[in-house]
Amino acid sequence: MQPIQTQYESIIEEEVTLTQRISLCKDSIDILLEYISRHADSIHILTAEDIVTTIHAMAQNLDTELLHVRFEKGILEHKLHELQLQANLHSATVQSS
């Protein structure tokens, strides 16, 4: 099992990556909606709607994954805090001896 600090660092990287991916999906949707508003008379609207809906679904899935990552991050933060408290207690005990 990985040390908690290593797990925590990994989960932070995963959170950043997911946030970037979600942002890209949202930016892509905005670009597509702008394109659709300018070219609605010359594109196949149902296909455009399918594309936007697919990207939206992808963003929702990534957002759900991000929720789980943040949940795990919170648990790891608690564990790190507990370890720090134990280390501080141990250090104070050793110094007072």
Closest of 60, 97, 80 to residue 11, by C-alpha? 80
SS3 content of the chain, % helix, strand, coil (to 5): 90, 0, 10
Cα angle 79-82-83, degrees, rounded to a multiple of 5: 85
Token pair for residue 18? 């997911």
Q: Residue 60: pLDDT above 90?
A: yes
CATH fold for domain 4-96: Helix Hairpins (1.10.287)
Per-residue model confidence (pLDDT) at position 35: 98
- Average pLDDT in the chain: 94
Task: Read off the pTM.
Answer: 0.85
Domain layout of the chain by residue ranges: 4-96
Average pLDDT over residues 33-53: 98
Q: What's the pLDDT tens digit per position in 3-37?
A: 999 999 999 999 999 999 999 999 999 999 999 99
Token pair for residue 93? 């005990």
